[in-house]
């Protein structure tokens, strides 16, 4: 039997991760509230309230969130929203270039796997995962996925080239 209360608890945990990631935006840059306030035409106090996970009546708008992430290059909020909805955000700069030698691409992907493992190890070493550590793990994992996509494209290109050469 499906328990609706379990769904609510799971959702609340996920929402908390999103809210805490929004709060990380405040910590991502010195004077972030003032910077965001200036950019968004709000007061610094309004920005602080919108990013405070303990004030659920204050809501952060989507466009404002995008503007804040673009200003600080802190994408933890994007990563957590994606995770909540069952998606993965892949940084474009990590997935744009798809040429290169197969061995180089493999080594790049392998290094990103190692970085993901290191981020997780560092976070769980003290048996506490902070929102900042969660952001670090998520970013490393997303970069790993992006490198895997690059690896797949290079493998496909190589297989097609080798198949065409073999058919001649």
Domains held by the chain: number: 2
The reply to whether 149 and 117 lie within a common domain is yes
Give the whole-angstrom CA distance, residue 130 versus residue 84.
Answer: 18
The domain containing residue 134 runs over which residues?
Answer: 92-167
Over 60: is that where the pLDDT of 131 sits? yes
Last-in-domain residue among 40, 70, 85? 85
- Mean pLDDT of the 109-120 span: 85
Who wins on pLDDT, 73 or 7? Answer: 73
- Helix-then-strand count for the chain, H and E: 8, 0
Contacts of 115 (CB under 8 A, 6+ apart): 140, 143, 144
Among 34, 68, 85, residue at a domain's last position: 85
| pLDDT on residue 38 | 92
Res. 140: pLDDT tops 90? no
> Quick one: 156 and 105 in the same domain?
yes
Q: What is the reported pTM?
A: 0.55
| 59 token code pair | 């809501």
pLDDT value at residue 3: 61
97 shares a domain with 46: no
Residue 75 and residue 129 share a domain = no
Q: Is the pLDDT of residue 117 over 80?
A: yes
Residue range 13-18: average pLDDT? 76
| Rounded Cα distance, 41 and 20, in Å | 23
Token pair for 23? 């709060």
Query: Is residue 116 located within the same domain as residue 134?
Result: yes
78 and 109 co-located in one domain: no
At residue 95, the pLDDT reads 46
Given a contact cutoff of 8 angstroms between Cβ atoms, the answer to whether 75 and 89 are in contact is: yes
Residues 18-35: what's their mean pLDDT?
85
Across the chain, mean pLDDT equals: 81
79 and 8 within one domain:
yes
Q: What pLDDT, in 10s, does the model give residues 34-72?
A: 999 998 999 999 999 998 888 878 888 999 999 988 888
Compute, in degrees rounded to 10, the torsion defined by CA atoms 88, 94, 99, 102: -80
Residues 13 and 70 in one domain: yes
Q: What is the pLDDT of residue 64?
A: 92
At which of 26, 54, 85 does a domain end? 85
């Amino acid at each position: 039997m499906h328990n609706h209360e379990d769904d609510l608890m799971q959702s609340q945990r996920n929402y908390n991760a999103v809210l805490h990631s929004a709060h990380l935006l405040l910590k991502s840059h010195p004077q972030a509230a003032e910077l965001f306030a200036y950019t968004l035409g709000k007061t610094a106090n309004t920005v602080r309230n919108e990013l405070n996970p303990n004030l659920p009546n204050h809501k952060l708008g989507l466009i404002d969130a995008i503007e804040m992430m673009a200003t600080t290059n802190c994408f933890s909020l994007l990563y957590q929203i994606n995770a909540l909805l069952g998606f993965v955000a892949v940084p474009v700069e990590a997935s744009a270039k798809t040429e290169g030698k197969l061995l180089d691409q493999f080594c790049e992907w392998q290094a990103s796997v190692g970085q993901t493992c290191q981020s997780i190890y560092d976070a769980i070493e003290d048996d506490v995962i902070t929102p900042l550590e969660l952001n670090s793990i998520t970013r490393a994992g997303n970069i790993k996925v992006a490198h895997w996509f690059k690896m797949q494209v290079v493998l496909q290109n190589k297989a097609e080239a080798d198949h065409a050469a073999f058919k001649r």
